[in-house]
Chains A and B, each alone.
Chain A
Amino acid sequence: MKQVDLVIIGGGPAGMAAAVAARENGLEDILIIERDNALGGILRQCIHNGFGLHRFGEELTGPEYAARYETEVEALGIPYLLNTIVTAITPDRVVTAMNSEDGVFSVQAKAIVLAMGCRERSRGALNIPGNRPAGVYSAGAAQKFVNMKGYLPGRKVVILGSGDIGLIMARRMTLEGAEVQAVCEVMPYSGGLQRNIQQCLKDFDIPLYLSHTVTEIHGKERVTGVTVSKVDEQRRPVAGSEMYFACNTLLLSVGLIPENELTKGADIPLDPITGGALVDESRQTATEGIFACGNVLHVHDLVDYVSEEAALAGKAAADYVLAGAAGDSPRRVIAAGAVRYTVPQTIRRTDKDVTVYFRVGSPCTAATVRVTCGDVELLKKKKPKMAPGEMESVTLKADKLIACSGDITVSVEV
């Protein structure tokens, strides 16, 4: 079996940033395996701008952002395979993949970085009643048709879900001459970035119906309309609140799911909230030598944070291969109060600062973020406004981490 020091599964922003960081930290023998026909991942179809403000201090489009990393990967001479799909990984780090030239093959890796990204939740997962005509697309599939294939999936559009891709597609379809009649969101708030609500909906006078959902899809062959209903606090449709929109297209932007089938196949424990692996601060999973980063770990709001996280994972993977396992027994990071989850979920090393990312479960104002360890308060800060659509973070100082022992609790109180 072929031996490789580090196999990175996925050549999107996470995979590329992990590869670059691993090489910069001294690791020579790296292989990126990408299933598509080019590096770049989902950024290739995100032709809008707004990427890279944090990472590069300028506004880039998705393909431009991806190209920055692709150039680095090329310049560093990091090998990659395209059109190659990983079909299985094992806990002892055998990676099985397949492509047209090599057929099915296996590689023994010393370390693996999981960077497979996420997929969109489908109509079926929502059990939307009605017919099953053509014209119902996930926002990402529509984005691929419009931005990469040059085709418009429809002209009269309703969008269900106010996730970022849905918001971006509302604007994109409008610019292409389609009429976006409504964006419906089952929650009382949007799951997307505030800036996208402004720039993609408000600037184009597209109405956003909060606490509304699609309760029936009409049309036998192609969508002819949708029924939209108000929902109560349990998200059940309210009888009598139905509105009918004549349209030929329904786009869904109803959530992203980390694509962890390979991870599950290797029995790597997952966090039921994030849908990604449980990791420590270096983004090592509970299985030694296997790391995870990017949207396969937890869905990020900005790609800049994906790159940042992937660099951590890439460096840690390089350190693991070159210096072996490091770190003490893990301390748990516990989400409390309005905090829905944290990444990482454990902390091993306390000799350096650790940034903990988290999201709140519902919008809050005048909130206090508090990090405690037993009776010791490690950090406290005020936040005027927090929303589930935006990722938050706290950085825990190494000296404070050393000074206490036991589980660490991150809470938001309002």
Chain B
Amino acid sequence: MYDVAIIGGGVVGGMLARELSRYQLSVVILEKEYDVAMGASKANSGIVHGGFDAKPDTLKARLNVRGCEMMPTVAAELGVPYRNNGSLVVAQDEESLAAVRELYQRGVENGVPAITVLDEAALRELAPAVKGIAALYAPSAGIVCPYTLTVAAIGNAMDNGVELRRGFGVDRIEKTTDGYVLYAAEDTVETRYVVNAAGVHADDIARLVRDDYFRITPRAGEYILLDKEAGCVVEQTVFGAPSKMGKGILVSPTTHGNLLLGPTATDIENKEDTATTYEGLQKVIGGANRMVEGVPVGKAITSFCGLRSTPDRYDFIIEPSPSNPHFLHLAGIESPGLSSSPAIAEYAVELLGQMGLALTKKTDFNPIRERVDAFRHLSDEEKNEIIRKDSRYGRIVCRCEQVTEGEIVAAIHRNPGATDTDGIKRRTRGGMGRCQGGFCQPVVAEILARELGIPLQQVTKSGGSSYLLTDKTK
């Protein structure tokens, strides 16, 4: 019997698991996929928003500002790349200038620090490539690598005693006298408390306990990622003025030095449909070009699509189930969900406490997780010291991102271990570079087979039946 079962191994579930691992509790994360960070957490803009966008006196406004304030410390503790690069919302005509002025007012009300409206000259000075007549500048905004953050939060939670069950797709929930039994295809979990952090599926999970009062619509966002050579076109995250479908196409550097363009915003029906479209990718290119001069769209290295969990109300749905005791919903966490995630976790723990969960701090909680992709950032002397101890760090497997065999092996064996080539990619960046695994995928597959003790033919790209190889040759 667990104290808390968290349904969903995304950034919200992961951050909460880590927060709960500070206390004397038994906690399990139930993830339906074969790895963590498989939903919106792996495919979003990676922006830590300043907090000017949300309407005042909403959870979004409060948790965004608080999350933005917490993120640098959380990222540092978890060894996750974070950069405080600031953000710009660009006005290109009088109409969007009015929208920018409104955002400024909201920002002031929400308590966003040091926010200003730049005129054309000041904008040109700060960001010469941006095309606009004015812009809202939020210096507190930043960027963070969202899947590294999720993997690291869950890894740190696991190091502090949290369990992770993968491939555990909750399909039935039974109320018992002192809690719940959660059923998956071939497994069950008993728990006193349940937290629903199931992303786009949060309404489906809620319906399993007859909470049928909210709906989550998957809103597809397509992105194009450009080569690191393009990373320096802009320094700040550049947004267009917002519309009711979201914040529009943005152009932003990533923490790894690439340039990210996107997202589109299309409401869809199928919660598993993360296919990109011709029209969507054209829209991304068009939107980026409208806002920023000289975006080298020809330097694309990959494109992808993520599904935002759009609720049927303006705000995040963070509340105890009205009809089920010890059941907490963390639903509808669309943007600024990533930015808010540390604050959502903090708030969720507070709510769980109010719901009766006994919160006694551990004395041995360790908030620190060492950075995984740190090797290439070390000095030559530091590298040599590591190579002397473990010669696998002297062998580069992914030449584009300079990832060593040592890092790949570590990513397989440290919490939460990678079990497929995409998992290696998200944890080490191996295969994430400009050749997209053309050279290293065969080698990464061999390392996975060796370390996991499985035949090469059992190695997958992304779990399930995503096998890389189908047969032996004649």
A interface, CB within 8 angstroms of B: 35, 83, 85, 87, 96, 98-104, 119-120, 122-127, 129-134, 137-138, 140-141, 144-146, 148-155, 176-177, 215-216, 220-222, 237, 248-249, 261, 264
Contact = CB atoms under 8 A, between A and B. Distances in A.
Contacts of B462: 134, 221
Interface in B298-321: 300-304
A221 B466 contact: yes
A124 B225 contact: yes
Interface in B270-317: 272, 274-278, 280-281, 300-304
Nearest to A99: B394
Of A126, A138, A264, most B-chain CB atoms within 10 Å: A138
B277 A141 contact: no
B441 interface: yes
B388 interface: yes
B470 A155 contact: yes
Contact of B461 (A99, A126, A134): A134
A127 B300 contact: yes
A152 B394 contact: no
B302 A124 contact: yes
Of A132, A138, A149, most B-chain CB atoms within 10 Å: A132
B467 A134 contact: yes
A103 B276 contact: no
Nearest to A138: B438
B229 to A, nearest CB: 8
Nearest to B390: A100
Contact of A122 (B280, B383, B434): B434
Contacts, number: 143
B275 A152 contact: no
A261 B402 CA distance: 12
A380 to B, nearest CB: 36
Contact of B272 (A85, A140, A155, A220): A220
A237 B278 contact: yes
A220 B38 CA distance: 13
A140 B388 CA distance: 34
B277 A129 contact: yes
B473 A141 contact: no
29 contacts: A98-B387, A99-B395, A100-B395, A104-B383, A104-B387, A119-B435, A122-B302, A123-B302, A127-B276, A129-B275, A129-B278, A129-B280, A129-B303, A130-B276, A131-B275, A134-B460, A134-B468, A138-B438, A140-B439, A141-B438, A145-B442, A148-B442, A151-B472, A152-B469, A153-B468, A177-B471, A221-B463, A221-B464, A222-B467
Given A129-B276, A131-B274, A137-B441, 19 more contacts: A85-B396, A98-B383, A100-B393, A100-B394, A103-B384, A119-B434, A119-B439, A122-B301, A123-B302, A124-B301, A127-B276, A133-B466, A141-B441, A145-B469, A149-B446, A150-B472, A154-B470, A216-B278, A249-B470
B399 A124 contact: no
Nearest to A120: B438
Of B275, B438, B462, most A-chain CB atoms within 10 Å: B438
B388 to A, nearest CB: 7
A141 B276 contact: no
Nearest to B383: A104
B432 to A, nearest CB: 10
A176 B474 contact: yes
A129 B472 contact: no
B176 interface: no
Contacts of A176: 473-474
Nearest to B378: A104
Of A102, A150, A222, most B-chain CB atoms within 10 Å: A222
B392 interface: yes
Interface string B378-390: 0010011001100
Contacts of A221: 460-466
B437 interface: yes
CB-CB nearest 7 A-B residue pairs: A124-B302, A100-B394, A134-B461, A122-B436, A103-B384, A100-B391, A134-B466
Contacts of B471: 151-152, 155, 177
Contact of A124 (B278, B303, B388): B303
Given A120-B435, A134-B461, A144 B442 contact: yes
Contacts of B446: 149
B99 interface: no
Given A85-B396, A127-B303, A119 B278 contact: no
Of B303, B304, B456, B472, most A-chain CB atoms within 10 Å: B303
Interface of B: 224-225, 229, 272, 274-278, 280-281, 300-304, 380, 383-384, 387-388, 391-396, 399-400, 402, 434-439, 441-442, 446, 456-457, 460-474
B472 A152 contact: yes
Contacts of A144: 442
Nearest to B396: A85
Contacts of A85: 396, 399, 402
B473 A152 contact: yes
A154 B468 CA distance: 8
A261 B439 CA distance: 15
Contacts of A248: 470
A404 to B, nearest CB: 38
Contacts of A149: 442, 446, 456
B385 to A, nearest CB: 8
Given A98-B394, A151-B473, A152-B472, A129 B383 contact: no
Contacts of A261: 400
B276 A152 contact: no
A79 to B, nearest CB: 19
Contacts of A220: 272
A151 B436 contact: no
A155 B470 CA distance: 7
A125 B394 contact: no
B178 to A, nearest CB: 39
Given A129-B276, A222-B467, A100 B473 contact: no
A146 B471 CA distance: 10
B275 A103 contact: no
Contacts of B400: 261
B18 to A, nearest CB: 29
A221 B464 CA distance: 7
A134 B441 CA distance: 11
A129 B222 CA distance: 10
A133 B461 contact: yes
A119 B272 CA distance: 33
Contact of A35 (B225, B276, B304, B396): B396
Contacts of B467: 134, 222
A123 B473 contact: no
A248 B436 CA distance: 19
B232 to A, nearest CB: 13
Given A100-B387, A100-B395, A103-B383, A125 B300 contact: yes
Contacts of A98: 383, 387, 394, 396
Contacts of B391: 100-101
Nearest to B438: A138
A119 B441 CA distance: 14
A120 to B, nearest CB: 5
B110 to A, nearest CB: 37
B394 A103 contact: yes
Contacts of B437: 122, 141
Given A99-B394, A100-B391, A124 B436 contact: yes
Contact of B387 (A35, A103, A129, A148): A103
Nearest to A177: B474
Given A99-B395, A127-B224, A248-B470, A104 B438 contact: no
B33 to A, nearest CB: 11
Contact of B394 (A101, A137, A138): A101
B402 A87 contact: yes
A400 to B, nearest CB: 39
A261 to B, nearest CB: 8
